[in-house]
């Protein structure tokens, strides 16, 4: 199956929100948290890379959120793609999906690791579940708070959703949390150990957060992870 690029826009320096469509398909079926697997030939090498769906598909259209890995192989190639360009794809695949029924949860992400959580937060089985949800999101700079306006709007509308951004390289005008997500985990947990914690991003952060949760008495079944590297 091929995906065709419909549009893209830059949402932060070196980060793009892509919209693809699958020609000939009426509806792409996916659960929040799943990814598509892209394949291509780059510099004579056959490469496969997974990308989390950054929202729920609409009809045959789906969204991705990607950052360009400077020394990377496939992400720079995808950043060269213009609307109409094709990519071979498989999926949606994967099991990093919201538990059913969805319980009170903390979602922890850094960088483009927020993509699957954007899909979670569009899903009625998550936001309509009555569960209390905290999104703890780490980025370097304020401009890199991906989908900030959407999450702030959701927090304003839904008293059960809390948005906790933190920056590692804040400007002087930033008045919010600073430092890594690890430093704010206890605030997000608010003393509770009966929550599910979903973690998505690069493995160093994922493993550190997992270790902190274990120290606080979380069972491994309460910790769901997706590692990007
Ligand atoms: C299940 C899954 C879902 C993923 N979803 C996304 C997604 O939604 N958006 C996305 O941008 N990436 C995502 N990735 C990472 C993606 O598959 C590629 O690894 C990434 O695009 C780099 O590929 P590359 O060929 O450009 O770099 P490579 O030549 O493979 O170089 C890999 C290097 O890039 C680093 N790296 C991998 N991913 C990232 C990243 N996101 N940010 C910074 N450094 C990274 C690795 O640590 C490694 O050092 C996902 C990975 C997995 C396993």
Angle at the Cα of 143 (from 139 to 144), degrees rounded to 5?
30
Residue 99 lies in a domain: no
226 Cβ below 6 A of ligand 1 = yes
Q: What CATH number did the domain enclosing 151 receive?
A: 3.40.50.80
Minimal-distance CA residue to ligand 1 atom 46 = 229
The pair phi, psi for residue 116, each rounded to 5°, is: -65, -30
Mutate to test the pocket of ligand 1, among 20, 69, 92, 139 (most ligand atoms within 8 A of CB): 69
How many structural domains compose the chain?
2
User: Same structural domain for residues 70 and 122?
Assistant: no
Within 8 A by CB and 6+ apart from 161, the residues are 121, 127, 132, 133, 134, 135, 154, 155
Question: Does residue 217 share a domain with residue 116?
Answer: yes
The string of DSSP letters for 146-167 reads TTHHHHHHHHHH-TTEEEEEEE
Which of these three, 93, 122, 144, is where a domain ends?
93
Q: Which residues pair with 210 in a beta bridge?
A: none
166 close to 176: Cβ distance less than 8 angstroms: yes
Do residue 59 and residue 148 come from a single domain?
no
Could you give the C-alpha distances from 55 to 17, 160, 169, 194, in angstroms and in order?
Answer: 11, 20, 27, 27
Residue-range definition of the domain harbouring residue 52: 2-93
Same domain? For 113 and 65 the reply is no
Same domain, 215 and 134: yes
Residues 111, 222, single domain; the answer is: yes
Confidence (pTM): 0.97
> Residue 17 belongs to what H/E stretch?
strand 15-21
How far apart are the C-alpha atoms of 27 and 105, rounded to whole Å?
29
Domain assignment present for residue 100? The answer is: no
Pair (109, 169) in one structural domain: yes
Dig out the tokens for 146 from the structure. Answer: 């991906």
Atom of ligand 1 nearest to the CA of 227: 53
- pLDDT, tens digit only, all 229 positions of the chain: 999 999 999 999 999 999 999 999 999 999 999 999 999 999 899 999 999 999 999 999 999 999 999 999 999 999 999 999 999 999 999 999 999 999 999 999 999 999 999 999 999 999 999 999 999 999 999 999 999 999 999 999 999 999 999 999 999 999 999 999 999 999 999 999 999 999 999 999 999 999 999 999 999 999 999 999 9
- 159 exposure class (CB count in 10 Å sphere: 0-12, 13-18, 19+): exposed
Let me know if residue 57 belongs to a domain. Answer: yes
Query: Which protein residue's CA is at the shortest distance from atom 1 of ligand 1?
Result: 50
């Amino acid at each position: 199956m091929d995906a065709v690029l419909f549009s893209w826009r830059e949402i932060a320096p070196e980060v793009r929100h892509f919209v693809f469509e699958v020609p000939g398909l009426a509806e792409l079926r996916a659960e929040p948290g799943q990814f598509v697997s892209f394949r291509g030939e780059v510099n004579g090498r056959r490469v496969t890379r997974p990308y989390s769906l950054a929202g729920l598909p609409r009809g045959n259209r789906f969204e991705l959120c990607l950052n360009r890995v400077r020394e990377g192989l496939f992400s720079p190639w995808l950043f060269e793609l213009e609307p109409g360009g094709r990519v071979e794809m498989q999926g949606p695949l994967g099991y990093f999906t919201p538990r059913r029924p969805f319980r009170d949860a903390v979602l922890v992400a850094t960088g483009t690791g927020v993509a699957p959580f954007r899909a979670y937060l569009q899903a009625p089985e998550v936001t309509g579940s009555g569960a209390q949800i905290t999104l703890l999101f780490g980025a370097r700079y304020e401009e890199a708070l991906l989908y900030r306006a959407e999450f702030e709007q959701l927090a304003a509308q839904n008293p059960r959703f809390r948005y906790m951004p933190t920056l590692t390289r804040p400007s002087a005008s930033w008045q919010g949390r600073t430092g890594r997500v690890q430093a704010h985990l206890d605030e997000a947990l608010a003393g509770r150990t009966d929550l599910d914690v979903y973690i998505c991003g690069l493995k160093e952060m994922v493993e550190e957060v997992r270790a902190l949760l274990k120290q606080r008495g979380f069972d491994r079944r309460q910790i769901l992870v997706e590692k990007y590297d």
